[in-house]
Chains A and B, each alone.
Chain A
Amino acid sequence: MATKASRAAARTMISPAVILLLGWMIIPLSLTIYFSFLRYNLITPTGNPFVGWENYYWFVTDPSFKAAMLNTLVLVGGVLLITVVGGVMFALLLDRPMFGQGVIRIMVIAPFFVMPTVSGLVWKNMFMNPVNGIFGHIAKAFGAPPIDFFGQIPLLSIIIIVSWMWLPFATLIIFTAMQSLDQEQLEAAEMDGAKWPSRFIFIMVPHLSRSITVVILIQTIFLLSIFAEILVTTNGGPGVSTTNLTYLIYVSSLLQFDVGMGSAGGVIAIILANIVAIFLMRMIGKNLDA
């Protein structure tokens, strides 16, 4: 199906999507890069002079940048660890024969559909509140001092909330991959004398490695942009202890109105995300060929 007429039609039909996405990518992106080289504050008009790398210099040398990078790293790493390990375990469990598997699967997946602001607030108030939260009540029942989650372990608290939200995603994808595993392969391995641990290591893990990689890459891209959960729980605090890169950029640009500084941060965030994206795109691309 490739006549000149149909090719011309195809070009016309694809162009709205291409033009829109091109605009969506190029216009804001080039503006961000442009702003990042200006002294540009929304409250104190300075005529926006070109200042070279100054914004980058100040953004990167600010102590909160170092903290934010570290927080971002711990947040992403911690959530990935919990969701991948938990996801494999959940998937293994769900893959076994049981009653009412459909209902159980739905319960496991449900958190993924809860909007981030709801998860943040519900965990913060109903669970992690030291006085009235469930964890507080439990501690009290055992006579232990309640934990002040957002005072004592703020970042870990955020990690717990975000992990709860993303564990379903990891479980669902790994579970899907597990179901595509050829049962005959496992039976052949069993005939060959492989016990369950060997079957897991030599057959299931290699089969799952691809989906686990996908989970890691996709989650990383979303986790780098965690925002709402922090906004409604800690506002980045106490101090900067739960400020990640996204939140730091939000603070400098929309709370301190420093467009130049915020843009410099934005460029850094884009570069970081792109490093992950390259690996993800490669995997998707390979799959397209297959």
Chain B
Amino acid sequence: MARAVSTGQKSLNTAIAGTLGLVMFFPVLWILILSFKTEENAIRAPLEVLFGSGWTLDSFAAVQARSDYFKHFSNSVVISVGSTFLGLLIAVPAAWSMAFVPTKHTKNVLMWMLSTKMLPPVGVLIPIYLIFRDFGLLDTRIGLVIVLMLMNLPIIVWMLYTYFKEIPGEILEAARMDGASLREEILYVLTPMAIPGMASTVLLNVILSWNEAFWTLQLTTSDAAPLTQFIASYSSPEGLFYAKLSAASIMAIAPILIMGWFSQKQLVRGLTFGAVK
């Protein structure tokens, strides 16, 4: 609004919104605090926790010692990054086709791709589980990379498509006139121009894969278990060890929380399939 707003009004808004923001953020903040406490101090009343003693870094070390945090962390990285880049490899050519050589079927293909995203995972749980069992893919990272890639492929194609659409076709035609082959056209002209869009696409899909908690829970047990499964193993009775649970949780969500803050805008675009601008 181009109108001057009094500082008092602005302060009041800030106070109300800030309180609500704090309430929403509180659980994250709270586990951050608890993760630095000793177990016996972590279960005390909130005020005692805040102002009492018993600050320590032991929980983080204990989490690693008890359940090999870094193994699960690296599984999460491999699965989320792997599935995203594999998806990108398949999606870039597809998005190029739809954005720059549209046919009368393009829209239908795009819509169909999106519709596969609407399939509830539980509807295909059994066949996937059995196929995985028969092919020895259960509890393997490659298996999860494939499934999560297929899960997110429609979103990757969709996001790239919307970014590619913003690149004028004339520039690619110019490259073609200048003697560039299709490969050179995509490599030297399209890709550099689409870098920001691709980066957002990667970011969002890494986040989605990192937090995916249906297939990762169903298809892994230990070897390939990412952080979602690792945290689930705290469901009982270790969950009563607040400090360790907090430390484990903080380590599981911190990387994605930071990435997420950078991708707020893309989040809307990627998750609403362009229906909200």
Indicate whether A and B are direct neighbours in the complex (CB within 8 Å). yes
B231 near A21 with CB under 8 A, answer no
B85 within 8 A of A: no
Q: Does B17 contact A (CB under 8 A)?
A: yes
A-side interface mostly: helix
Residues of B contacting A70 with CB < 8 Å?
none
Instruction: Evaluate contact between B25 and A107: CB separation under 8 angstroms.
Output: yes
Residues of A within 8 A of B111 (CB): 281, 284-285, 288
- Please tell me which stretch of A58-66, A73-81, A264-272 contacts chain B, meaning at least 4 of its Cβ atoms lie within 8 angstroms of it: A264-272
Name the one of B45, B235, B239 contacting A141, with C-beta atoms under 8 angstroms: B45
Decide: B126 and A288 in contact? CB cutoff 8 A. no
Apart from A109-B264, A221-B120, 11 more pairs, CB < 8 Å: A106-B261, A108-B24, A110-B260, A114-B28, A115-B252, A118-B253, A218-B271, A232-B232, A254-B218, A262-B126, A266-B122
List the B side residues contacting A28 at CB < 8 Å. Answer: 124, 127-128, 131
Interface residues of A (CB under 8 A from B): 1-2, 6-7, 9-11, 13-14, 16-18, 20-21, 24-25, 27-29, 31-32, 35, 90, 93-94, 96-101, 103-127, 129, 132, 134, 137-138, 140-141, 164, 167-169, 172-173, 176-177, 180, 183, 210-211, 214, 218, 221, 224-225, 227-228, 231-233, 245-246, 249-250, 253-254, 259, 262-263, 265-267, 269-270, 272-274, 276-277, 280-281, 283-285, 287-289
Contact of B21 among A107, A127, A265, A270 (CB under 8 A): A107
User: Using Cβ atoms and an 8 Å threshold, which residues of chain A touch B154?
Assistant: 21
Q: Which of B252-276 contact A (CB under 8 A)?
A: 252-253, 256-257, 259-261, 264-265, 267-268, 271-276
Contact B232 A126 (CB under 8 A): no
Contact with A along B95-128 (1 / 0, CB 8 A): 0111011010001011111111011111111111
**Contact residues in A for B30 (Cβ distance below 8 Å):** 122, 126, 134
- Whether A31 touches B246, Cβ cut-off 8 Å, given contacts A14-B109, A97-B13, is no
Q: Are A110 and B276 in contact (CB under 8 A)?
A: no
Evaluate contact between A288 and B107: CB separation under 8 angstroms. yes
Tell whether B210 is near chain A: CB-to-CB under 8 Å: yes
The closest CB in chain B to the CB of A90 belongs to B20
List of B residues within 8 angstroms of A267 by Cβ: 123
Chain B's nearest CB lies how many Å from the CB of A78? 18
Which positions in B face A, CB cutoff 8 Å? 1-2, 5, 9-11, 13-14, 16-18, 20-22, 24-25, 27-28, 30-31, 34, 43, 45-46, 90-91, 93-94, 96-98, 100-101, 103, 107, 109-116, 118-131, 150, 153-154, 157, 169, 172-173, 176, 182, 207, 210-211, 213-214, 217-218, 227-229, 231-232, 234-235, 239-240, 242, 245-246, 249, 252-253, 256-257, 259-261, 264-265, 267-268, 271-277
Residue of B nearest to A276 (CB): B118
Given A25-B116, A25-B119, verify A14-B21 contact (CB < 8 Å): no
* B157 x A17 contact (CB < 8 A): yes
Kindly state the separation between the CA atoms of A201 and B6 in the bound complex, as whole angstroms.
Answer: 25
Question: In the assembled complex, how far is the CB of residue A129 from the closest CB belonging to chain B, in whole angstroms?
Answer: 8
A227 contact set on B, CB distance < 8 A: 122, 213-214, 217
CB <8 Å contact, A232 and B211? no
Given contacts A116-B211, A169-B271, contact A269 B122 (CB under 8 A): yes
